[in-house]
Amino acid sequence: MLESAIHQGITHVLCTPHANDRSNSHANELFQLRFKELKDKIAKLELPIEIGLGSEIMFGMNIQDVLQYPFATLNGTGKYFLIEFPRQTPFEIILNVVKAAKRWKVIPVIAHHERYPLACRSEQQLIQLRTEGAILSIDAGSLVGQFGGAIQKVSREIVATGHIEIMMSDAHDDEKQNFRLAEGRAAAAELIGAPRARETVVDAPRRVWNGEPWPKFEMVKK
């Protein structure tokens, strides 16, 4: 998988094992152990790529409990966390979680936003989520048709609005679900132009990686 990433020009990979609101110190130990093994292997093979640890946390009622663990925030900075929801989660629930995260002083990056049809109904929904402090992300694979035409269509529509700030690869294996970031970036460039597409795969993810503050979103009236 990392060789494929390197071929695509990827220099940094955040490893985001699945977690949920019951993940605890045992999960933390396991993730840290596996992460170190991978890091050692990369050093041994002298692969030109950097890795960081985070997790992809499935929404649950006790999600605040898990945020204390080092694996819970992206690259362990304590600033950003990656959250996913069951597919048919109502928009209002997603919005409430975003509002709660503001109180907890962590910034939610919503994973593969294109997979939540009830939160992709209008541009207004995307604006509302961003206004409350969410960062909307998309899976590059979705944009290039990895999950079929319907998801690709939604992906193209939400990217075209300009409200998707991060594109990531939801890479799971070295076969069908590998990194698709180079293709995704090219597809995004056709919709929003090359400079903005670059922001979604380079500048915005770098801010998260470094735990830097996120620029405040202000809606410019069209």
| Residues of the shown chain interacting with Fe ion in the complex, contacts defined by CB under 5 A | 84, 111
CB 166 within 8 A of CB 208: yes
Task: Tell which residue, 127, 102, 119, has the closest CA to residue 219.
Answer: 127
Residue 37 Cβ vs Fe ion, minimum distance, rounded to whole Å: 23
Residue 192: Cβ-neighbour burial (10 angstroms; 0-12, 13-18, 19+)? middle
Amino acid at 25: S
Instruction: Please state whether 8 falls in left (phi above 0), alpha (psi between -120 and 50) or beta.
Output: alpha
| CB nearer to Fe ion: pick between 42 and 118 | 118
Distance CA 133, CA 100 (A): 10
| CB nearer to Fe ion: pick between 2 and 171 | 171
| CB nearer to Fe ion: pick between 117 and 198 | 117
| CB nearer to Fe ion: pick between 63 and 111 | 111
| CB nearer to Fe ion: pick between 111 and 197 | 111
Residue 201 Cβ vs Fe ion, minimum distance, rounded to whole Å: 18
- Could you tell me how many helices (H) and strands (E) the chain has, helices first? 10, 8
Residue 58 Cβ vs Fe ion, minimum distance, rounded to whole Å: 8
| CB nearer to Fe ion: pick between 59 and 217 | 59
Task: Tell which residue, 183, 187, 185, 180, has the closest CA to residue 199.
Answer: 185
Eight-state DSSP code of residue 118: G
Distance CA 59, CA 42 (A): 32
Helix (H, G, I), strand (E, B) or coil at 60: coil
For Fe ion, the nearest residue by Cβ is 84
Residue 10 Cβ vs Fe ion, minimum distance, rounded to whole Å: 19
Residue 56 Cβ vs Fe ion, minimum distance, rounded to whole Å: 5
Residue 18 Cβ vs Fe ion, minimum distance, rounded to whole Å: 7
